[in-house]
A and B are shown apart, each in its own frame.
Chain A
Amino acid sequence: MRVRHAGVAHPVRTWLVLGFLLSVLGLLATRAVYLQIFNADYLQSQGKQRHSRVLKDNSHRGMILDRFGAPLAVSTPVDSVWAHPATLAENRKDWGRLGALLGLSARELRELLARHEGREFMYLRRHVPPELAEKVMALGIDGVALQREYRRYYPLGPVAGHALGFTNVDDQGQEGIELAYDDWLRAVPGQRRVLRDLHGNTVELVESMVLPVPGKDLQVSLDRRIQYLAYRELKAAVERHRARAGSAVVLDARSGEVLALVNEPDFNPNNRTNLKSQVFRNRAVTDVFEPGSTLKPFTIAAALESGQFNARSMIDTSGGALTVNGRTIHDTHAYAALTVAGVIEKSSNVGAAKIALALNKRDHYSLLRRAGFGSSTGIRLPGEVFGQLRSPESWVPIEQATIAFGYGISATPLQLARAYAMLANGGVSLPVTMLRQTGAPVGERVLTERTTREVRAMLELAVSAEGTGAGAQVPDYRVAGKTGTVRKLTSQGYSEDKYVAWFAGIAPASNPRLVMVVAVDEPRSGGYFGGQVAAPVFSRVMAGALRLLDIPADAPRGAPSRPVLLVKNVGSAHAEPAQ
């Protein structure tokens, strides 16, 4: 009663207090409305910044497999150590232990943190061995975590280095097949949003924003056994002749598939630290040389197709020299006269030039062009060059004459291999591919079947005991091929002592299956002729490849004279090293 009486007695005070309380309430309500409605986006984003994180979810890159499914490039998971810069910056006391494990000094760590100030992520060290990753996590330092990444391994190492190429630290293709088919092989990393607590532990997954998609496997046309053979023999030849570089390509003549592609000097794609661009150049597609005598079969093919010549037409090559436009073409040996077949067998420049000069230059050009000179082989490897083949409008007689024996035109070893594959494939030119083919390839007819048969028969003579390419013979198989020895073009004109040794060949000659081109750049010891340097590489690789592919022997041979004794020899050879 008293209280009520007192309240009634002081109405002004009551209203004042009430009004004060109400206005404060109003103020709070306004503030709440301001924060909840007008400021909501800003505040929510701030809150998210503190707790929600978007994590990268890496996935593995597709494997590269050889034509039989053996792995040539495999991505395996590794861990990278990363840190949240702001959190780590506060944990100064842990720097010593962390730095000791990762090989970072306190100063380096400070600089690293300064560079990433205000960021949410920084790598401390990438691709660490699993034991080290475990040790780092065992330290239990706030703000330090592991990120799953993938490292690429190449089981063949240097054997397929140039063909496969390599990836960078982010698993992106940089060279070779890895770059050419990067879109197919590449994995799309996923993203997910998670909530983290103060210590950086993931508490809850909010959403998967992007699901990780692993890369797709790629089956290439390489046969790792033939690849290894080619690698071994080319390396041996380059070392034996102290050459500057070398390339070898083996093609399947019927499908245009590349069975082996090697270059020297080689490199190991597993070890990225000492890569120099000089070393990883894929010379078989990026370097052009004049093909020299290896181009003569195409001159002869043009001659046969023109109808003006046949294999037995006589060409006057007397004196072993021919002067055109004031320039003289020489033969190594002078022959009085040669048949068209003899021009190939003896590799006569004069003969080839005389034949070419009798041909319509437009037809001659068209044949070379359709055989693939001066244009892409279709292989899709990075850095491919097309070589030089000038249009016939600008040809003067001397040019047409030199092109006949492979000067004034340039090609990569792969282009030459493709052109020989056309000869091997009955005159149908196929695009070259690094991928395993299942369907029948679509090609373009360049020569008649009959012409290619005749040219192949001449090329068989060229590797006979009397020919320039005798070193290319393969036991039990008939082989067709052509040597080439080219003076290198330098800034002072054609060099006197720098050569490129070529060999291009087809086996077995009766039923062509394989084509191989070998180019050795600047052999410096043990001879420089294509027949001495490049042909033996062909012979050894082909002997192995024909056997590995189970291609039946086609050379007639007599029965072994003493088979029983020979069988005994095999046994004793086995026992010998046990001594």
Chain B
Amino acid sequence: MGKQFFVLVAAVVVCAVAVVELRHRNRQLYVQLQALQSERDAHVTEWGQLLLEEGAWSQHRRIEATARSRLGMDLPDPRQIVVIRSQSAGGRQ
């Protein structure tokens, strides 16, 4: 009887300590989770902004304007284009 009682008391104490420990771990992990989530958010934000930036720089309107004005490029007139037919391209048609 006495022995059983002490075993149970010990079990209760172990459980109580485990609960405290787990609760502590839970909080620690939650803090970690939040840190990682905010880090992820920051990366997602940055990625989105980079995508938008890329989109803005690579806008065809902009590229066309730059090519025409700064680089002096222009679409060649059809008369200036020489079409070279390869054997395979001819064969496919």
Are A573 and B83 touching (Cβ within 8 A)?
no
A75–B49 Cα gap in the complex (Å)? Answer: 9
Give the CA-CA distance A360 to B76 in the complex, in Å.
Answer: 51
Cross-interface CB contact of B93 among A157, A232, A552, A577, cutoff 8 Å = A552
Contacts of B48 in A (CB 8 A): 60, 74-77, 153
Instruction: Tally A-B pairs: CB < 8 A.
Output: 77
Contact B72 A577 (CB under 8 A): yes
Flag B49-63 by CB within 8 Å of A: 1 or 0 each. Answer: 101101110111100
Asked whether, in the complex, the Cβ of B61 is within 8 Å of the Cβ of A228, the reply is: yes
Interface of A is mostly: mixed
Taking CB atoms and an 8 Å cut-off, the chain A residues in 149-172 that contact chain B are: 153, 155-157, 159
Assess whether A156 is in contact with B59, with CB atoms less than 8 Å apart.
yes
Chain B interface helix/strand/loop/mixed: helix
Complex: how many Å from CA A531 to CA B22?
A: 79
Closest B-chain residue to A475, C-beta based? B78
Which of A1-9, A29-37, A369-377, A562-570 is found at the contact surface with chain B?
A562-570
In which size bucket is the chain A interface?
A: 35 or more
Say whether B3 faces chain A, with CB atoms less than 8 Å apart: no
Confirm or deny: B87 has a beta carbon within 8 angstroms of a beta carbon on chain A. no
Q: Report B-chain residues with C-beta under 8 Å of the C-beta of A569.
A: 80
Q: What are the interface flags for A154-196 relative to B under an 8 Å C-beta threshold, 1 for contact and 0 otherwise?
A: 0111010000000000000000000000000000000000000
Sample of 12 further A-B pairs with CB below 8 A, known A60-B48, A155-B56, A563-B82? A70-B58, A74-B52, A75-B48, A153-B48, A225-B60, A228-B61, A232-B61, A476-B81, A553-B83, A559-B82, A574-B73, A578-B72
* Contact pattern, A 65-98, Cβ under 8 Å of B = 1, otherwise 0: 0000011001111000000000000000000000
Encoded as 1 (CB less than 8 Å from any B CB) or 0, chain A from 542 to 579 comes to 00000000001110010110010010011001111110
User: How far is A557 from B83 in the complex, measured between Cα atoms in Å?
Assistant: 9
- Taking the nearest CB of chain A, how far is it from the CB of B42, in angstroms? 9
Q: B45 to A77, Cβ gap below 8 A?
A: yes
**In-complex Cβ contact of B80 among A77, A159, A510, A566 (8 A):** A566
Asked if A224 lies at the interface with its beta carbon under 8 angstroms from chain B, I say yes
Min CB–CB distance B23 → chain A (angstroms): 11
Listed residue (B55, B74, B93) with the most chain A CB atoms within 10 angstroms of its CB: B55
Chain B residues proximal to chain A, CB less than 8 Å: 27, 30, 41, 44-45, 48-49, 51-52, 54-56, 58-61, 69, 72-74, 76, 78-83, 85, 89, 92-93
Pairs A–B under 8 Å by Cβ, sample size 27: A63-B51, A70-B58, A71-B51, A71-B52, A71-B54, A74-B55, A75-B48, A76-B45, A76-B52, A155-B51, A155-B56, A157-B59, A159-B61, A204-B27, A228-B59, A232-B61, A475-B78, A475-B81, A476-B81, A552-B92, A560-B79, A560-B80, A566-B79, A566-B80, A570-B80, A573-B72, A577-B69
Known: A74-B48, A156-B59. A511 touches B81 (CB 8 A): no
**Chain A positions near chain B (C-beta within 8 angstroms):** 60, 63, 70-71, 74-77, 148, 153, 155-157, 159, 204-205, 224-225, 228-229, 232, 475-476, 510-511, 552-554, 557, 559-560, 563, 566, 569-570, 573-578
Contact B55 A71 (CB under 8 A): yes
The answer to whether residues A574 and B59 also contact, given A74-B51, A153-B52 and a CB cut-off of 8 A, is no
Cβ distance B10 to chain A, nearest Cβ, rounded Å: 31
